[in-house]
Structure 1
Amino acid sequence: MGKHTPLALALSATLLQAHADTLLTIDVEAEPLPGESQLPVDSTILQPTTDAGALLRELSGATATRRGGKGFEPIIRGQQQNQLNVLNDGGYLFSACPGRMDPPTTYTTLAGYDTVTVIRGNRTVIYGGGGSGGTILLERTRPSFSEPTLQGTLTGGYTGNSDLKDFSADITAGNTDGYLRLFGEYASMDNYDDGSGNTVSSGYDSKGGGAVAGYQLTESTWAEVSLESVREEDIYYAGNGMDSPEADSDSWRLKLEQELDSGFFESTELQLYGSDVAHRMDNFTLRDRNPSGMMGMLTDSTSDTQGGRLLGYASWGSSDITAGIDYLDNRRNAERYMVNKNSGAWMANALMWPDVRQQQTGVFVEADTALNTQNSLRTGLRIDRVNAEARAAHQTFGSSTPADLYQTHYGTRDDSADETNLGAVVSWTHRYDKDAQLELAFSRSVRTADATERFIAAPGMSGNPDWVGNPELKPEKHHQVDVTWQQTQKLGQWSTTVFYNRVDDYINRYTDTGAILYDNVDARLYGLEGQLKSPLTEQWTLTADIAWTRGRNHSDDRSLAQIAPLSGQLALDWQTGAWQAGVRWQLAASQNNIDENSGLDAGETAGYGVVHLHGSWQAHPSLQLSAGVENLLDKTYALHVNSASMDPFNPDAIRVNEPGRQVWVKAKWQF
């Protein structure tokens, strides 16, 4: 499988270079900023999408792990989890599962969002501390009406193989003073078969919805409030030793924007947000993952988040300035129980998250300055004060306390940590002419250890290793440089980026004598990204992208775990009148650079090339019908990145095969 993939990827790179000499004139100012990709949520017809993490796989330079049909963990430049800043409508929502069954993108009702933007690398300080790998923004666009209006979108689809049925509605009513938007979606999916006909546990039932209301309070004041809830049941995870009988999320957002007539700032914006997530996982309700034993395992966990930020916008000379302060408070608790499968009796086993509270307060300022007609400069600085505490670390739960595990493996009983972290960005952009520009960006970002890395306390079962966080971890310090070239000529627009990231105190997971532990090491991450969009004729368009990342643990002289191989895609699309069709060739090279000591990599992987087809017909100005075939040749393949098992009886990492051939159809009605 995949023996021709390296050649195919080389051809992709050759195409990117060949088109550099002959390209169509397109003003680069209308295109995404360097290092940024954006995708309209509602317009994509390239593949069935089960959550926002899966949607990110369509963007260049981004990928995501697969655990089943839900729970796709985004990865950018070999970095994931809280190495990425993920904001839903301006606010944070954090996973409630210690094993990341439910990354924040899982609890997103896609029908209620308009765009997803991926900023690769650290290019701004305004979205929070950390974010060394990048920033993911799931955003809503504020509608504007000149007269009373009712508009909406109704969508329904079906995907074979997995028997996925999904329906959504997004309806907005408004006038010149404000609007009310209601949205909701329902999806039900069964287990799918891979290319070899093997059944992959991936079914789930999900429903979500919410409302957004905005109103012009005065000529200079705008207010907006939103509520969103997601309810999921019977979620099967092939990539974990447990499944999830239920997972719930409730979130709210409040925004106030005020234009000012005097003073330094021209306008201000206040954003407040909150989210409550509850998650249950076990190894016996949906499938008996321990059929030989009478005792099963169950974990109840919660993650509650509140926060906000105050922003001020100003113009000073040739600079546009954004300054502000933000605050984040996240509380997590996870209790693991042994359950008698005959009597149903529960027995306390472990405080996996011992009432962990993490608070972060940041102040920041960023300026975009036009130096002259050809050169611009971005400078940004932020300071974050971080406090982390495991408030139940000394509480006995089962036979021991979390502090006992910290003492056993690290020689400490610490239950708190305080940090002051400094981040900065400096980027210079030079426009050679209206069709070409060069960007050189430098940044420093600091990300603190998350609740799991610092305070997880899970004693091993049946001879398998303990899983214990390190209370004395230092924060990661990322020092990055990006060089990006963008150009347009006769056949289209292309860009290429080379990046290098030196990481001091990289938080490293490793295995040692019966335990999964964490320490700090020095690491390096580097790679390249390339993109091309070329209109060949009025009807035909060629697009291509390529991404490669290499990660190295310099302290221990081995590869970093969970680094995707050289990968890319070629797509050819045709459109005329009401008809549209396309073919996409998804490619990946083999990956032999793995970290066998981390417990994260499930081994080496072969390369692959997979073909997808899609098409649509605008049957009526209000009605679009679309269809496609994923994995046309029914190949058996899996992405290299995978999820670590949450099975205390078998902690080996598992790689989940992608679906075999599946045909899908979708209808979208707009009014």
Structure 2
Amino acid sequence: MSPICLQHSCALIALSASLSCLAPTALAQSSQPPLIDVITVSSPQLDNPARDQLDPAAQPIVASPDTTQIIARLPGAAAVSNGALSGQLQYRGLFGTRLAIRINDQAIASGGPNLMDPPLHYAPSVLVDRIEIARGVSPVSNGPGLGGGFDVTLKSGRFADTPQFSLSHDLSLAAHSVDDSTAVGGLVGLANDTIRLHVLGSLETGGDRDTPLGRIGGSAHERGVYGLVAGWQAGPHELTVEGRRNETGPTGNPPFAMDIRFIDTDTGRIAYTGTFDAARLDLSAGWSDVGHAMNNFSLRPAPASPMRWRETFAYAESHTLAASLTIPAMGGELRAGIDRVDTDHDVTITNPMNPNFFLRNLPDIAISRTGGFVEWTGEMIGRWQGELGLRVDHHEARSGLASTGSAVPAMPGMLAMAANNADRDWQASTLDAVARLWRPLTDTARLRLTLARKTRAPGYLERFAWLPTAASGGLADGNTYVGDTGLVPETAWIAEAGLDWANDHAYARPTIFIRRIEDYIQGVPFDSTPGVADTAVEMVAGMNGDTTPLRFANVEAELYGLDADFGYQIDSHWRLDGTISWVRGKRRDIDDNLYRIAPPHVRLGASYDAESWTVTLESLATARQDNVSLANNETETPGQVLLNLYGRWDMRPGVALAVGVENLLDQAWRDHLAGVNRNSGSQIGLGERLPGNGRSIGLRLTVRG
């Protein structure tokens, strides 16, 4: 953002309001490593634990079923809206599998090649208890990944202090006018000082979204989640067993070629923590099983010709094992561990009108990763503290035999034969290293430094997709993609510097960063003559309406920028809080920009806090995004300013009512990270970038006890 543009944006929002999403901890009192933010979320409202020390006011709410919308309010973050339940998180320009996202310490493999069920799909906002964010990069103990780490913890019962059993509950009811949606969820628990049991569940439904430019057809959603958790503790030993069932019903995805018919997912996890003298042992095993169907005729006008009806079935099953030992060492804490992940995928495209039409385009995919790490945290010389980590992973991937039905034209069959004759087995090893350092400069300021080497192995779609389809891992750019078995892992070299400063009246936490990514995986023209159908891949793509298919390839990339949160306590009632985020993504091998990078944006807000209620007026100023990808035919978006109004009333202990009006002026706007519309049964034109919500009223009632 240019200085002129930034000054203009700040002038527009000088009297508006902001998310107080990261009010600072008192630096000298914080027991958390300064590169870890812990955010307690009484979904969908953010509630920073430091708020009790600095400002008891409630946080603004987002009346959305998508937890992505909550995290996206943090500095450096943004939401990639691919549907009501398919949002992905972008952090400092990275999204998808480049971020390490876990739900209850468990990584869940998405069921389909378009990530209609990304990790946060399994964390309904009415069930979220807290979110832990590793700023900048994730620790090596969290596994590989180029970006920050996000650990989402669902609501859970807690052990009591006495042998007598007692009941507890944590329930939420939410509603949103923009899509006539409702959500109810929470838990009921029974516990004493040795045993805890709780059941949790949620049910969410919503219709098509309204915007100032018209209704977005086929954007309704429905999802149900239920689960059971049991825990046991005795002295220094604790055992937890949990299982959940996620049932997503018909849910629209207008940026995609298909919509969700169902996503049925079972997850389970068992975890043990035990302390032996000065050593702590952590063991865990997890499992997830996803069944997913999507089609192009249930929530959008069906193709006129039955020959073009499509329904895709996708499956994913994942098993995880992890063990770590933590001991005192070298004036700090040393943790060493091993982990293993095995994931199987299978995808088949069908025509429900013709049983002889099918394409097993991603058959019997098996992916595994075995890793080990060592991580030390403690005091260093010269008042420095640090976290130093090293990680090694071995990756393996293979694909089964592709096949096509007798009703499929001959050319896709030829592509299947070529894929079967190619090398379908791959293995490689990767090395991650992280040094995160911090040092107090004064009583009110602390310096943060990070140097890291982080890696990501290619996904199964990027490597094994032989059939040109619109599946893109959630890019939703309207392009057709194929994979490349010759891909190598991405390697990011990362440097960050930041400052945490706070006194009795103000705080600021700016960070600057740069990531140079070798072998970054992105779509490039399939061959040197784009638009000329001189290969079988281009001919098949042309049959499906795309004469310029893309191929996933290793390129050279760079991401750099700055973000910050800041605030000022004016008096005992009035305060200002804000965030700023700016990231630039560029190709280093050619003169082009990376695709789908969030534009610079600033949140600024003014809040009035009374004894039992608070009101916040917020504005979000977003700059024009004209640094777009030519290779991906990305279009520019203009700058815009939106106003929101939020309020919260603590009616009595354990009962709170939050309300909000978003897009207060009912302004027409388009989020740069939104995809283009592909549903013809909509008031939004085909190929147009999907607009943002119109004026919407949201409320949430929370009851705890």
The residue number in structure 1 matching 2:259 is: 243
| Other structure's SS at 2:232 match | strand
The residue number in structure 2 matching 1:51 is: 66
Q: Indicate whether 1:134 and 2:151 are aligned.
A: no
Q: CA deviation at 1:287?
A: 1.9
CA 1:553/1:153 → structure 2, altered by over 3 Å: closer, same or farther? same
Q: CA deviation at 1:31?
A: 8.0
The residue number in structure 2 matching 1:18 is: none
| Other structure's SS at 1:452 match | helix
Q: Indicate whether 1:655 and 2:664 are aligned.
A: no
Shifted more, 287-296 versus 562-571: the winner is 287-296
Superposition RMSD on alpha carbons, in Å?
Answer: 2.9
Match 2:622 to one of 583, 588, 593? 588
Match 2:502 to one of 475, 488, 494? 488
CA 1:220/1:418 → structure 2, altered by over 3 Å: closer, same or farther? same
Q: CA deviation at 1:373?
A: 7.4
CA 1:13/1:418 → structure 2, altered by over 3 Å: closer, same or farther? farther
The Cα offsets for residues 212-246 of structure 1, whole Å up to 9 and x where unpaired, read as 11101x42321001111111111012212211121
The residue number in structure 2 matching 1:267 is: 280
Q: CA deviation at 1:85?
A: 0.9
Q: Matches of residues 177-256 of structure 1 in structure 2 within 5 Å? A: 177-216=194-233, 218-256=234-272
CA 1:571/1:372 → structure 2, altered by over 3 Å: closer, same or farther? same
| Other structure's SS at 1:41 match | strand
TM-score by length of 2: 0.86
Match 2:562 to one of 491, 516, 528? 528
CA 1:118/1:658 → structure 2, altered by over 3 Å: closer, same or farther? farther
Tell me the distance in 2 between the aligned counterparts of 1:137 and 1:547: 21
The Cα offsets for residues 303-330 of structure 1, whole Å up to 9 and x where unpaired, read as 1111021011111131211110010111
The residue number in structure 1 matching 2:134 is: 119
CA 1:89/1:518 → structure 2, altered by over 3 Å: closer, same or farther? same
CA 1:661/1:31 → structure 2, altered by over 3 Å: closer, same or farther? farther
Tell me the distance in 2 between the aligned counterparts of 1:86 and 1:25: 24
The residue number in structure 1 matching 2:336 is: 323
The residue number in structure 1 matching 2:304 is: 291
Tell me the distance in 2 between the aligned counterparts of 1:588 and 1:481: 26
Q: CA deviation at 1:200?
A: 4.6
CA 1:467/1:354 → structure 2, altered by over 3 Å: closer, same or farther? farther
**Structure 2 residues not aligned, in runs of 5+:** 16-22, 46-59, 471-477, 531-537, 539-548, 681-685
Q: Matches of residues 81-92 of structure 1 in structure 2 within 5 Å? A: 81-92=96-107
Q: CA deviation at 1:25?
A: 9.8
CA 1:256/1:26 → structure 2, altered by over 3 Å: closer, same or farther? closer
The residue number in structure 1 matching 2:174 is: 157
Q: Matches of residues 593-608 of structure 1 in structure 2 within 5 Å? A: 593-598=627-632, 601=634, 603-608=635-640
Q: CA deviation at 1:476?
A: 0.3
Tell me the distance in 2 between the aligned counterparts of 1:406 and 1:238: 29
TM-score by length of 1: 0.90
CA 1:206/1:394 → structure 2, altered by over 3 Å: closer, same or farther? closer
Q: Indicate whether 1:537 and 2:571 are aligned.
A: yes
- 8 A contact 1:496–1:531 mirrored in 2: yes
The Cα offsets for residues 44-87 of structure 1, whole Å up to 9 and x where unpaired, read as 15120212222222222111211232210111111111101111
CA 1:200/1:569 → structure 2, altered by over 3 Å: closer, same or farther? farther
Paired AA for residue 272 in structure 1: A
| Other structure's SS at 2:178 match | coil
The residue number in structure 1 matching 2:670 is: 638
| Other structure's SS at 2:140 match | coil
Q: CA deviation at 1:297?
A: 1.0
Q: Indicate whether 1:567 and 2:587 are aligned.
A: no
Paired AA for residue 70 in structure 1: L
The Cα offsets for residues 108-162 of structure 1, whole Å up to 9 and x where unpaired, read as 2444431112324324100012x21221111256724212322112221222131
Q: CA deviation at 1:653?
A: 7.0
CA 1:449/1:346 → structure 2, altered by over 3 Å: closer, same or farther? same
- 8 A contact 2:481–2:552 mirrored in 1: no
Match 1:388 to one of 393, 397, 417? 397
- 8 A contact 1:221–1:259 mirrored in 2: yes
The residue number in structure 2 matching 1:417 is: 426
CA 1:171/1:419 → structure 2, altered by over 3 Å: closer, same or farther? same
| Other structure's SS at 1:568 match | strand
The residue number in structure 1 matching 2:466 is: 457
The residue number in structure 1 matching 2:55 is: none
Q: CA deviation at 1:298?
A: 0.9
Tell me the distance in 2 between the aligned counterparts of 1:35 and 1:429: 8
Q: Matches of residues 395-406 of structure 1 in structure 2 within 5 Å? A: 398=408, 405=415
Shifted more, 448-457 versus 471-480: the winner is 448-457
Tell me the distance in 2 between the aligned counterparts of 1:446 and 1:73: 20
Paired AA for residue 208 in structure 1: V
Paired AA for residue 304 in structure 1: E
The residue number in structure 2 matching 1:107 is: 122
| Other structure's SS at 1:58 match | coil
The Cα offsets for residues 239-264 of structure 1, whole Å up to 9 and x where unpaired, read as 12211121111101110112113xxx
The residue number in structure 1 matching 2:377 is: 368
- 8 A contact 1:477–1:504 mirrored in 2: yes
Q: CA deviation at 1:37?
A: 4.0
Tell me the distance in 1 between the aligned counterparts of 2:410 and 2:286: 36
The residue number in structure 2 matching 1:611 is: 643
| Other structure's SS at 1:454 match | helix
- 8 A contact 1:192–1:199 mirrored in 2: yes
Q: Percent identity?
A: 23
Tell me the distance in 2 between the aligned counterparts of 1:200 and 1:533: 40
CA 1:100/1:350 → structure 2, altered by over 3 Å: closer, same or farther? same
The Cα offsets for residues 151-204 of structure 1, whole Å up to 9 and x where unpaired, read as 112221222131011111222221111211211111110002112343353211
Q: CA deviation at 1:535?
A: 2.0
Paired AA for residue 663 in structure 1: I
The residue number in structure 2 matching 1:311 is: 324
